[in-house]
Structure 1
Amino acid sequence: MTKLTVLILSFIAFGCSQSNNPIEFYVDVTGNDSNQGTLEAPFKTIEQAKNAIRALSEQQRQKNINVYLRAGTHTLSETIVFELEDSGADNTKITYQAYQNEIPIISSGVPLKNWKKLGTYPAALPEVAKGNVYVTDIPDGLGRFYTMFDGDKRIPVARKEGFDFKNINYVRAKSMNVLHEKDRYLLRRLELTGGKILKSWPNLEDIEVGFAPVPWTMNMMQLESVDEKNGIAWTTLEANAPPAAKKSHTKPWVENVIDYLDTQGHWVVNTHERKIYYWPESGEPSENLVIPKLKEYFRVEGKIDYKGPIDTPTKNIVFKGLTFMHGERDTWWKGHKGWGIQHDWDKFDRGNAMLRFRGAQDCEVTECRFTNSGGSAIRLDLHAQNININNNLIDFVGHMGILLCGYGPGTKDVNKNNSITNNLIHHVGRIMKMGAGIFMWQSGSNHVANNLIHHVPRKAVGVCGIRVPILQKRDINFDEASKTIRWDEIDTSISSEGSFWERYTPFLHASNNIIEYNEVYRALEELADGSALNVSGAGEGNIMRNNYAHHITSHASGVMRTDDWQRGTTFENNVIYMANISGIVHKGFNHIVNNIIVDCSSKESIRFASYPDEEADYGSKIQNNIYYESKDAIKYYNISYRASEGISKPEDCDTDKNIFFCAGNINQANKFVEAKRKDGIEINSIVADPLFEDIANQNFKLKPKSPAFKLGFKKIDMSQIGLKKNLFPKRYIKFDVEDIDGRRPNFHRNRKGEETYDFW
């Protein structure tokens, strides 16, 4: 009998005699793993508590088990993996939670000590930095790292703009990737123009260039070589698409070069010298400086049979009241092409979130905080079912807030039936600007409700799968998610009837998701061509309803959008207020019913667009919507980006029973409706004031005599939208960020950046 077993048995002998009492263990950073794990004699590590639970008998594990973490920073040097033997028994839970009101922090931060003011200056150090820079050694056992933190704040790495890429011609895939194998070299080649910023530095492997090859994503690429004379540079890895494949307002930059350490509050690392250089914002380095060792802290992982039909999940584990911080940013690897989910916004089955479920079921994450990290907060990979993520705060993380990532197209549909409710998510994607608040890829029948999401660089909520053109290129394995496709399953079960799209839709598992009662503002803050609430290349049956999206100004496309290769989606009962982009972008056979769109006059209420090779799929319902402008000019509908003859225009839809009103120019609406009636639509639509209760204070409740009700408009109860603060942890409310800039008058009427970029 092991020493641990003896300790555990002696500890539980009394406690377990009372059948209704849960078993309890305690972990304290000042504890000792030779202790019994009691409140008075706690373990030191979470790993030891996990092992103590494993040592319990089967009978003892029929109880609920609580592992209480005491206050302090619990520093991990390795990922803690919760496997099948760590599952809670049926009808029980094993809960890892904060003790009472204490704040246990889970971190992988390695302290940086022994800072010395730089005396001998590197030749390239900017003059302005001399006398201000400190230096220390990279801690033993660590190499190249990508993020650095000062307590609860991430410190940015030194960077420099001022160069660009020349336009190139190439044969393009629909994704903007190269189409042919022979052209893949273009994914690594940078033809430089502008300032002579890039140089052939001796530590090129430490140096990265960041750029948006297309407006809707970005890449961080390590340099391999720089030919300064001829203006040609090469990266070690292939990009999402050739640089400058489609220009945007996002300009490229280079980072982690001591030549450009010219601003306080920045740092660089040189692995050749094993030195870290830092210009502190406060004059001297603080005692709280750390660099991360891990990307992934906790992984709940069952037995994955990747090629087989059935996985065995780890079950019944709960995480409650914990704070996760100081995680590392992810990087790509050789051979990554084909493993990226849509537009390489993230990678398939990748350990780059602080909390990860991979082959898990019936688990919960509640009242936790994920903050101040270089990577993502939470991932649900492959088999993930009945995972409940509620009442958490996710803020200031480098990539995704919450990612659900199922298997690639095939018959294995096991990432589903999860719940993401009442979370506060803001300032995600702080490094990787394609990061979303909540993103579901090949994941279906999920419920996303009552979340408050704001200040995100791209999407608040996205639902995506693999677009049809990629499924049509079976012989190409270097396009988006092409390596995830389960061709053996498709070949044995695909129907021989119907269009290509109809035949492949059953393998697109991002279907039947319900996204409702969420509040979103200040989304789409970075990059371009996107939407705050987006469905693209997914399955059918997705519903976005009763959401409130407001105060959005960006370079992007629309507040809500059904994007390329999407059908069978419904947008209903949503309120969109104050945006400098389209209220809704409509493509394909998708329905827009009973929505309120107010003050989106910089573009239009609804933009009707198409995607390449779109086939005619008419008959979408565009009904019972209210289009309102408080000033004197508005474009209600617009038709643009005619990428195919199959574009679904207003007259191709069942477009009727809508209300149009422009408070400063009623005649404009009258003329618009008259013109549309000549096109055979809007026959029963009217021009009238919808009679909002108090639009100035964002009260869009309709007065009892509103003419909208006669047309069949259904009431939208906005009191149910957004965070339920009576359930949300009060201690986290103070970490929310007030939106001062977004509440400026006419904030939404600024078509920001349009001089340099307007994709449409």
Structure 2
Amino acid sequence: WCLDSDTGTLYFWPPAGSDMRSGAVTAPTTARLIQMIGTPGTAVSHIRVAGFTLTQTQAQFPTPETHYKIPNSGQAIYMENTADCTVENNRFEAIGGDAIRLQNSNARNRIVGNEITDAGGYGIFLGSVQRGFCRGDTTSGDVPGPTPWHNFREDREVVVNAWPKSPGHLIHNNHIHHVGVFEKHACGIAFFGISAVDVVVSNNLIHHTPRFGIGLMSGFGPITIERNELHHLSMETCDTGGICMNRWYTYDKDPDLARGNIIRFNKIHDVIGCGAGSIRMEPGKGEQADGRIWSPYYGWAIYFDNGPMDVLVYGNICARNVLGGIMLSHYARNITVENNIFVDSDNSQVYLMLAGDTSNIRFRRNIFCYANADADFLRLNIDPGREPPDAIAEFDKNVFSPAPGGKITFCGLPGEAVVRTGMTTQTDGGHTLESWRAMGFDRQSLVADPLFVDAANDNYDLAPSSPALKLGFKPIDTAKIGLVPDDDYS
């Protein structure tokens, strides 16, 4: 379809087999179907919305204050200053904007068992917009980037106080797919511009989105992301991940915000990535449209951008991603990556950008298995004057299984394990596992077949004789990942 806005003419090319003489044409007249709006002192509470089909709302793009992350597109269900409400077992289809929006302050709501498809915006969005709160970004509503956040202490309290708290929600067992029809930054479940305290995102199935599966952007608070299945994501954007955290900080002076996030027991595969531009920013392996569009391109399974803090990444399965199963960006601190399985990323299995004041990074008891003979185990960037042990506290008891006959390689300058940030030329190097071990890393790790039960069919359970078990790897219960029966809500 195409709209000629000058003439007001809508052109439509019907799908094959359509009968335009008997087909129904609908024109939505509202951007919101249900709203629950309380006040800061009196919340709307104990409302249950269940069993509805919600469809055909207006798409409000663009709005006068549009920005690529700000929630602005209309909503099928809108909630603000609500508490202890439930949205369950509904079907959202052909929604112009977001399916479900929790705006500003809300508490202890349950979003469970819904199917969301063909939404113009996000599936489920918890967010707010604050501007002009400090010397940082006064346009988009972002919290400051890692460098000003660490260097300007006086800004931190101002930013934290500006962000509304949204505690205690359960987002569980929702099937979210084919969202972001109009808004290409849209993802399945998103948090932006709030302090989300003790929120649980569990057992959701999210696939076919233009951007992230689950995105935490510009905010604070401990969120547990567990047992979700995410696949075929980032179909229309790049610089992206299946689960992405960007400027999601902890704040020691507030007990609610001092604890970090937990990402555990998720299965994330086929984060595709799609980009276009004058130059390639990162490697990719596919081209379309005479080389003007690159896909697969520039994405990870788990992507920590801009200062990740105090995160446990445990028991996840990440398969077939472009730049790696996991990426840690600059100013990362207190990140533990343990008991995960990383399989068949195209370029490297792990990508570490250890710039800024990066510290206390730990990788232990993980499995790295990849069949591409050209792929590296690790791509590592670090500031001049620093060495990997300055940022990495532990990297050991892992199992490596490179391509048959292949070596465990590192992406870096020739003869080095690292790429120095700021260098104008970066080439693949031939650094060896032995040299890596000389730095104190992976001295107890093994190069061996992990003995997956049936990797060809995405069954990454381990045989009883797997060498990973001898190093203390704990089996991942994959039967509990993804959607669960309706009566299994927690």
Q: Which one of the candidate residues 609, 629, 654 is aligned to 2:353?
A: 609
- Cα separation, partners in 2 of 1:621 and 1:277, compared to 1, 3 Å: closer
- Cα separation, partners in 2 of 1:661 and 1:327, compared to 1, 3 Å: same
> Are 1:299 and 2:35 an aligned pair?
yes
Letter in 2 for 1:603: N
What is the match of residue 329 of structure 1?
59
What is the match of residue 657 of structure 1?
397
Q: Which one of the candidate residues 342, 358, 361 is aligned to 1:597?
A: 342
What is the match of residue 246 of structure 2?
536
- Cα separation, partners in 2 of 1:286 and 1:719, compared to 1, 3 Å: same
> Are 1:565 and 2:307 an aligned pair?
yes
3-state SS in 2 of match to 1:414: coil
3-state SS in 1 of match to 2:359: coil
Letter in 2 for 1:463: L
Any idea what the Cα deviations from partners look like across 1:386-407, whole Å, max 9, x if unmatched?
Answer: 1101111001111100001157
> Are 1:514 and 2:224 an aligned pair?
yes
Any idea what the Cα deviations from partners look like across 1:177-209, whole Å, max 9, x if unmatched?
Answer: xxxxxxxxxxxxxxxxxxxxxxxxxxxxxxxxx
Q: Which one of the candidate residues 39, 62, 69 is aligned to 1:345?
A: 69
Q: How far did residue 535 of structure 1 move?
A: 1.1
- Cα separation, partners in 2 of 1:674 and 1:537, compared to 1, 3 Å: same
What is the match of residue 375 of structure 1?
97
Distance 1:436 1:288 in 2: 30
3-state SS in 2 of match to 1:690: coil
3-state SS in 2 of match to 1:430: coil
Q: How far did residue 363 of structure 1 move?
A: 0.4
Give the TM-score normalised by structure 1.
Answer: 0.50
Does the 8 Å CA contact 2:63/2:73 hold for their aligned counterparts? Answer: no
Distance 2:12 2:433 in 1: 62
- Cα separation, partners in 2 of 1:632 and 1:375, compared to 1, 3 Å: same
What is the match of residue 638 of structure 1?
379
Letter in 2 for 1:404: L
Q: How far did residue 581 of structure 1 move?
A: 3.0
Letter in 1 for 2:263: M
Q: Which one of the candidate residues 663, 670, 674 is aligned to 2:434?
A: 674
Letter in 2 for 1:573: G
What is the match of residue 449 of structure 1?
202
| Matched-pair identity in % | 27
Q: How far did residue 522 of structure 1 move?
A: 0.1
- Cα separation, partners in 2 of 1:564 and 1:649, compared to 1, 3 Å: farther
Any idea what the Cα deviations from partners look like across 1:365-409, whole Å, max 9, x if unmatched?
Answer: 111011112211000011111110111100111110000115753
Any idea what the Cα deviations from partners look like across 1:296-322, whole Å, max 9, x if unmatched?
Answer: 111101014xxxxxx421000001110
Does the 8 Å CA contact 2:362/2:395 hold for their aligned counterparts? Answer: yes
Letter in 2 for 1:553: I
Letter in 1 for 2:327: V
Does the 8 Å CA contact 1:701/1:715 hold for their aligned counterparts? Answer: yes
- Cα separation, partners in 2 of 1:646 and 1:513, compared to 1, 3 Å: farther
> Are 1:579 and 2:321 an aligned pair?
yes
Q: Which one of the candidate residues 396, 399, 402 is aligned to 2:121?
A: 399
Q: Which one of the candidate residues 255, 259, 266 is aligned to 1:547?
A: 266
Does the 8 Å CA contact 1:694/1:700 hold for their aligned counterparts? Answer: yes
> Are 1:316 and 2:46 an aligned pair?
yes
What is the match of residue 454 of structure 2?
694
- Cα separation, partners in 2 of 1:646 and 1:325, compared to 1, 3 Å: farther
Q: Which one of the candidate residues 172, 180, 187 is aligned to 1:436?
A: 187
3-state SS in 2 of match to 1:723: coil
What is the match of residue 461 of structure 1?
214
The residue correspondences of 1:57-456 to structure 2 (distance < 5 A) are 156=1, 158=2, 256-257=3-4, 270=6, 276=10, 278=12, 280-281=14-15, 282=18, 284=20, 286-304=22-40, 311-334=41-64, 336=65, 340=67, 344-347=68-71, 350=72, 352-406=74-128, 408=130, 409-411=159-161, 413-441=164-192, 442=194, 443-456=196-209
More helix as a share of residues: 1
Distance 2:395 2:181 in 1: 41
Does the 8 Å CA contact 1:524/1:556 hold for their aligned counterparts? Answer: no
Distance 2:389 2:312 in 1: 16
Any idea what the Cα deviations from partners look like across 1:104-136, whole Å, max 9, x if unmatched?
Answer: xxxxxxxxxxxxxxxxxxxxxxxxxxxxxxxxx
Does the 8 Å CA contact 2:399/2:448 hold for their aligned counterparts? Answer: yes
Does the 8 Å CA contact 1:673/1:686 hold for their aligned counterparts? Answer: no
Distance 2:55 2:199 in 1: 27
Q: For structure 1, which runs of at least 5 residues remain unmatched after alignment? A: 1-155, 159-255, 258-268, 305-310, 466-507, 730-760
Letter in 2 for 1:682: D
Letter in 2 for 1:596: I
- Cα separation, partners in 2 of 1:445 and 1:285, compared to 1, 3 Å: farther
- Cα separation, partners in 2 of 1:646 and 1:566, compared to 1, 3 Å: farther
3-state SS in 2 of match to 1:415: coil
Q: For structure 2, which runs of at least 5 residues remain unmatched after alignment? A: 131-158, 251-259, 274-296, 411-430
Does the 8 Å CA contact 2:226/2:266 hold for their aligned counterparts? Answer: yes
Any idea what the Cα deviations from partners look like across 1:618-667, whole Å, max 9, x if unmatched?
Answer: 22111111100235443110125x6x659884773121111111251254
Letter in 2 for 1:416: P
Any idea what the Cα deviations from partners look like across 1:426-452, whole Å, max 9, x if unmatched?
Answer: 000011111110001222321000001
What is the match of residue 626 of structure 1?
367
Distance 2:373 2:73 in 1: 52
- Cα separation, partners in 2 of 1:525 and 1:688, compared to 1, 3 Å: same
Does the 8 Å CA contact 1:444/1:513 hold for their aligned counterparts? Answer: yes
Any idea what the Cα deviations from partners look like across 1:252-289, whole Å, max 9, x if unmatched?
Answer: xxxx33xxxxxxxxxxx55xx66555454546354411
Does the 8 Å CA contact 2:98/2:120 hold for their aligned counterparts? Answer: yes
RMSD: 2.6
Letter in 2 for 1:430: V
3-state SS in 2 of match to 1:292: coil
Does the 8 Å CA contact 1:520/1:550 hold for their aligned counterparts? Answer: yes
- Cα separation, partners in 2 of 1:565 and 1:286, compared to 1, 3 Å: farther
Q: Which one of the candidate residues 444, 455, 460 is aligned to 1:684?
A: 444
- Cα separation, partners in 2 of 1:694 and 1:407, compared to 1, 3 Å: same
More strand as a share of residues: 2
- Cα separation, partners in 2 of 1:717 and 1:650, compared to 1, 3 Å: farther
The residue correspondences of 1:710-721 to structure 2 (distance < 5 A) are 710-721=470-481
- Cα separation, partners in 2 of 1:330 and 1:683, compared to 1, 3 Å: same
- Cα separation, partners in 2 of 1:549 and 1:515, compared to 1, 3 Å: same
Distance 1:673 1:375 in 2: 50
Q: How far did residue 346 of structure 1 move?
A: 2.7
